[in-house]
A = this chain, B = another copy of it.
Amino acid sequence: MRAIGHVRSPYQITASIPKGLGATHDAEGTLEILPEFEPGLQDIEGFSHLYVLWVFDRGKPGDAGLIAHPPSDDRPHGVFATRSPSRPNPLALSVVELLGRDGAGLRVRGVDMLDGSPILDIKPYLTSVPPEHVRRGWIAEAENRAQAEGEG
């Protein structure tokens, strides 16, 4: 595996990235692709959204347990049922909106990455599961509990 580029984002430290229930990702940034890979971007401008596969490269050593404690819940969950950065392979996946292209730079909205994160791949975002078919497991339960507590 080798980086095809790096993320330019407003976030220098993990604590700056919005997290937890109701967090939204509207920040803008740039996917700076290395010049040698620029030919692979041909026709990417036609897509509104992209998948970005990137690397959690600032994990703490020894952080690779299989149970995660996400900021959106006070209960633990299996790491594969979360987006925790501490996972067996430090692979991250983001969906971003493509705002424009300047040569080997892709201006995007929706970055939730740290500045300088290595990018491994970019793919077009093609289809959505109809929202009414998506069940969100413990996340929906945590939202319901938080709402009930807010009303209690």
Q: CB of A115 within 8 A of chain B? A: no
Q: CB of A17 within 8 A of chain B? A: no
Cβ of A89 and Cβ of B131 under 8 Å apart? no
Contacts of A69 in B (CB 8 A): none
Cβ of A48 and Cβ of B89 under 8 Å apart? no
C-alpha spacing A37/B80, complex, angstroms:
9
A135-B48 contact in complex given A81-B124, A123-B93, C-beta closer than 8 Å:
yes
Number of copies: 2
C-alpha spacing A2/B91, complex, angstroms:
11
C-alpha spacing A137/B101, complex, angstroms:
14
Question: What 1/0 flags go to A111-122 for Cβ under 8 Å of B?
Answer: 000000000111
Q: CB of A66 within 8 A of chain B? A: yes
Q: In terms of DSSP, what is the predominant structure of the interface of chain A?
A: mixed
Q: CB of A150 within 8 A of chain B? A: no
19 additional contacts (CB under 8 A) given A48-B133, A49-B135, A53-B91 = A2-B89, A40-B66, A40-B67, A40-B80, A40-B87, A42-B78, A43-B137, A44-B78, A48-B134, A53-B93, A80-B124, A81-B124, A82-B124, A83-B124, A88-B121, A93-B93, A95-B129, A126-B139, A128-B130
